[in-house]
């Protein structure tokens, strides 16, 4: 690099890091960096909102200080007429702090119903695909603590169990195509992120869909706002979620113990041999343990349907498995007192 270019680059880096002299921003950065590994490269999902712009700035500071490789991606869903111009505008804003952001475009026919859910899945698909192309194993998302509350209430209304209610955290408990999903902003409120966006960029995009009450998430957001006026204590809500997470970790411990003590796995044949004691545990332990075995052998991304797993457990406990049955791409059969789970041909 030519000496003049190097001087300009160093000057730009000093301008970026100067924002960390701000006491509030510095405190946020110190907590933020504790969620990242300085030996790992990562990608940042950008949208133009205050959460993702703050995430971009904090990630850029981390990459400068730790000399870590980082990529930035923004998805253009093309669901609105001005989505492409907004994506370009966000890219130009990020260039001011030395960030080159790649635009990932959703091509093809767009849905006319269930738009948010389908768009969210497509966004993840595009982001993960690009991570794989760039040989990056960690994807950073801009979710914050307000998203945690919204997600908890949405799943509560859906009737989710303990696992569903507690699965939204700093890091996904499973990997998607060997990509770690990391949420380093989960301990911050949206107001913290708006503050950073205003101080660093003087700008952020407010998604117009955030005002559309036809979407369930927006209804939940308004509900939380109304409950707050009625005295909702977010600290107590967070305490409740943390207590549920403790319970979830306890169940997870006994699921692993059940699998370790009561199964034998033959890797070459991709087959589990399961003894009787496996099914003597509490129902939730048996349900999760069996779901895991079928998922591993069947090689599917999602677990088999809960109703089908429960029916299978009842048949096994009543000794009604007389012939091979299939579930989740697996054969399940009984030989003497052993249940055998093997891959369906």
Q: What is the model's pTM? A: 0.77
Cα 187 to Cα 98, 184, 190, 252, distances in angstroms: 26, 8, 10, 24
Q: What is the pLDDT, as a whole number, of residue 6?
A: 46
Answer yes or no: do 280 and 138 share one domain: no
The answer on 222 and 286 residing in a single domain is: no
Predicted confidence at residue 8, as pLDDT, reads 44
pLDDT at position 117:
78
HSE on the CB side for 242, CA within 13 Å? 9
Return the structure tokens found at 128.
């993960």
User: Which has the closest alpha carbon to 143: 191, 101, 184, 195?
Assistant: 184
pLDDT along the chain (345 residues), means of 10: 52 82 95 91 92 95 93 91 89 90 89 80 91 94 90 85 82 69 92 93 72 66 75 80 92 96 95 96 95 92 86 93 90 94 91
In a domain, 239, yes or no: no
- Is 30 part of any domain? yes
Burial of 36 (0-12, 13-18, 19+ CB in 10 A): buried
Q: 197, 232, 267: which is the final residue of a domain? A: 232
- Clarify whether residues 227 and 280 are in a common domain: no
Residue 7 located in a structural domain = yes
The pLDDT, as a whole number, for residue 27 is 95
Domain with residue 124: its CATH number is: 3.40.50.620
pLDDT of residue 58: 96
Domain boundary among 232, 267, 286: 232
Residues 131 and 214 in one domain: yes
Same domain, 280 and 221: no
| Strand locations in the chain (E) | 42-46, 70-76, 101-105, 138-140, 180-182, 263-266, 271-274, 325-327, 330-335, 338-343
Residue 197 and residue 82 share a domain: yes
Same domain, 206 and 274: no
Considering the domain boundaries, does residue 253 fall inside one? no
Q: Tell me: do 160 and 299 sit in the same domain.
A: no
On whether both 216 and 311 belong to a single domain, the answer is no
Cβ atoms 183, 171 nearer than 8 A = yes
CA distance 282 to 214: 41
In this structure, is residue 171 part of a structural domain? yes
DSSP at 279: G
Q: Give me Rg for the CA atoms of the chain.
A: 24
Residue 186 shares a structural domain with residue 76: yes
Alpha carbon distance 328, 337 (integer Å): 22
Would you state the pLDDT for residue 285?
96
Segments forming the whole domain that contains residue 326: 259-343
Residue with tokens 């998607």: 176
Q: Which residues pair with 44 in a beta bridge?
A: 72, 140
- Residue 138: phi and psi, rounded to 5, are -130, 125
In the block, residue with structure tokens 């003590």: 261
Helix, strand, coil percentages, rounded to 5, for the chain: 55, 15, 30
Q: How many domains does the chain have?
A: 2
Domain annotation covers residue 242: no
Which has the closest alpha carbon to 89: 12, 208, 203?
203
For helices 216-229 and 145-157, the axis angle rounded to 10 degrees is 110
The answer to the question of residue 250 being in a domain is no
Domain boundary among 232, 247, 276: 232
Residues 61 and 163 in one domain: yes
Q: Are residues 109 and 9 in the same domain?
A: yes
Question: Does some domain include residue 93?
Answer: yes
């Amino acid at each position: 690099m030519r000496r003049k270019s190097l001087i300009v680059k160093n000057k730009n880096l000093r301008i970026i890091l100067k924002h960390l002299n701000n006491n509030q921003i510095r405190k946020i950065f110190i907590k933020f960096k504790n969620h990242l590994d300085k030996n790992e490269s990562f990608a940042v999902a950008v949208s133009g909102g205050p959460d993702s712009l703050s995430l971009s700035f904090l990630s850029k500071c981390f990459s400068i200080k730790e000399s870590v490789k980082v990529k930035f991606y923004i998805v253009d869903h093309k669901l609105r007429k001005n989505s492409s111009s907004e994506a370009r505008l966000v890219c130009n804003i990020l260039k001011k702090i030395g960030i080159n952001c790649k635009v990932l475009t959703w091509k093809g026919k767009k849905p006319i119903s269930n738009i948010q859910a389908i768009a969210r899945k497509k966004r993840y698909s595009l982001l993960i695909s690009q991570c794989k192309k760039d040989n990056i194993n960690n994807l950073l998302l801009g979710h914050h603590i307000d998203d945690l509350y919204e997600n908890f209430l949405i799943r509560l209304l859906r009737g989710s169990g303990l696992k569903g209610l507690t699965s939204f955290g700093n890091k996904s408990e499973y990997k998607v195509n060997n990509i770690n999903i990391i949420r380093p902003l989960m301990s911050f409120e949206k107001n913290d992120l708006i503050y950073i966006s205003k101080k660093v960029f003087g700008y952020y995009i407010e998604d117009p869909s955030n005002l559309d009450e036809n979407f369930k998430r927006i209804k939940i957001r308004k509900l939380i706002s109304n409950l707050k006026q009625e005295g909702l204590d977010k600290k107590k809500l967070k305490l409740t979620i943390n207590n549920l997470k403790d319970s979830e970790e306890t169940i997870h411990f006994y699921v692993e113990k059940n699998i370790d003590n009561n199964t034998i796995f033959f890797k070459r044949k991709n087959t589990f041999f399961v003894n009787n004691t496996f099914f003597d545990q509490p129902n939730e332990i048996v349900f999760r343990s069996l779901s895991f075995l079928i998922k591993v052998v069947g090689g599917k991304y999602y677990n088999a349907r809960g109703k089908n797993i429960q029916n299978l457990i009842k048949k096994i406990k009543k000794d009604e498995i007389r012939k091979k049955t299939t579930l989740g791409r697996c054969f399940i059969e009984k030989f003497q007192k052993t249940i055998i789970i093997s891959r369906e041909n």
